[in-house]
Amino acid sequence: MPRSAGEQVVVLTGASSGIGRATAVELGRRGAAVVLAARSEDELRDAAEEVRAAGGRPLVVPTDVADFAQVEHLARTAVAHFGRVDTWVNNASVSVYGTVEDAPVADIERVIQTDLLGAIYGMKVAAPLLKGQGGGTIVNVSSVLGRLSVPLQAAYCAAKHGVIGFADSLRLELARDGSGVAVCTLMPSSIDTPFFAHARARLGGKMPQPLPPAYDPQAVADAIVKLCERPQRDVIVGGAGRLFVLLHAVAPGLLDWVLLAGDGGAKLQTSSEAKTGGDNLDRPVGGAQPARGGWDRLSVGDSWYTRYWAQAPLVRTAALGALGVAGLAVARLLGGRAADDTPRRDALVAIG
C-alpha cells in the first residue's frame, strides 16, 4: 500500500527552480521529507527554506545528474539521512534553442547528458534501491515533446523521446521481476517557468518563450504528488498537450503542416524580448530561482484536463461506462428498428 505523500521520502532532481521548486514546496506542504538535488547549493538552500517553511523536511544534496557518480552519491546520502527512499523524481532539464545547423555539438551533448543520461542515471540508481526495499515509485518528468517534435529544440526533443523509451523498457523489466516498483512518465505541456529564460538561445538575440498556452507549474507539482501516492503509467499535464499528442498519433503530417504554416512553430517559440543574462547549460545561473517564469500573457493557469480527467480514474471509469451504456442503448434501438439487418445490429452492439 503506497504511503501518503506526507509520509514519504522523495528524491527530487532539478529542485531549485520551476517545476522542481513548485513540487518541492507542495511536498513540503504535505509534510514530506524532500531530498533536493540540483547543481547550485545556494539555489537549493533557498528552496529548502521554502520547503521547511511549508512544513516539510528538506535535505540539500548538490548534484549534477550528468555525472553518474554524483547520482549514486545522492542516493547514498538520502538513505543515510532518512533511512529509505519512497519516490525518485527525475526532473532536471536544460535546453538549447536554435536550428540543428546552428547548434554546436558541445551544446547538443550537454542537453543529452543532462536531460536523457541524467534521467537514465536516476533510473539506474533508483530501480535496485527501491526493488531492494520491496517497492516504490520512479517518476520521470519527460515532456509532450517526448511524443512529438517541434523546430528549434531538436536535442531537447530527442532527449525527452529517449526518456520515455528507456522508462518503458525499465517498467517491463521491473514488472517481469515482480519488483513492486512503479515507473511513471509525466509529460507536461508548456509550463510557465524560468526554463525559457535559462535556456541557451540562438534566436537572433531574442528570448525563447513557451508555446502557448502555458500552464502553471503548480499543475505539474500536483500531478507529481498524486503519482507519489497513486502511480500511473503515463500522465499528460495540460489539455493542449493532449490534443497535440493525439493529432500527432492520428495525423502527423497535419501536425507538421500546423507547425510550418506561417512559420508558426518557430515564431511562437520566439519572444519579442531580448535575451539578457546567461543560461544554465554549463553552470547554474545563480541567485534565488522562482517556480514561475512570468509568462502571464501566455498562461492559462491550472490544467483542468489533468486534474479532473487524466488523474481521476473514477471519473474516467464513470464517463466511459456511461458512454458504453449509451452506445449499447443506441445499438439496441437501431437493432430493433432493423431487425432484418443482423450483421449491422451485431456490429453496433459490439461497438457499444
Between CA 113 and CA 118 the distance in angstroms is: 6
The verdict on whether 156 is a catalytic residue reads yes
Helix or strand or coil: residue 49? Answer: helix
Residue 101 carries which side chain, given as an amino acid letter?
E
Among candidate residues 156, 215, 305, 308, the one labeled active-site is 156
Q: What backbone phi and psi angles, to 5 degrees, belong to 65?
A: -65, -15
The DSSP secondary-structure symbol of 294 reads -
Between CA 17 and CA 106 the distance in angstroms is: 24
**Alpha-carbon torsion 289, 286, 187, 205, what sign?**
positive
Q: Which DSSP string do the residues of 180-235 spell out, in sequence order?
A: -EEEEEEEE-SB-STHHHHSEE-STTEEE-PPSSEE-HHHHHHHHHHHHHS--SEE
Q: Which DSSP string do the residues of 69-125 spell out, in sequence order?
A: HHHHHHHHHHHHHHS--SEEEE-----EES-TTTS-HHHHHHHIIIIIIHHHHHHHH
Catalytic residues: 156
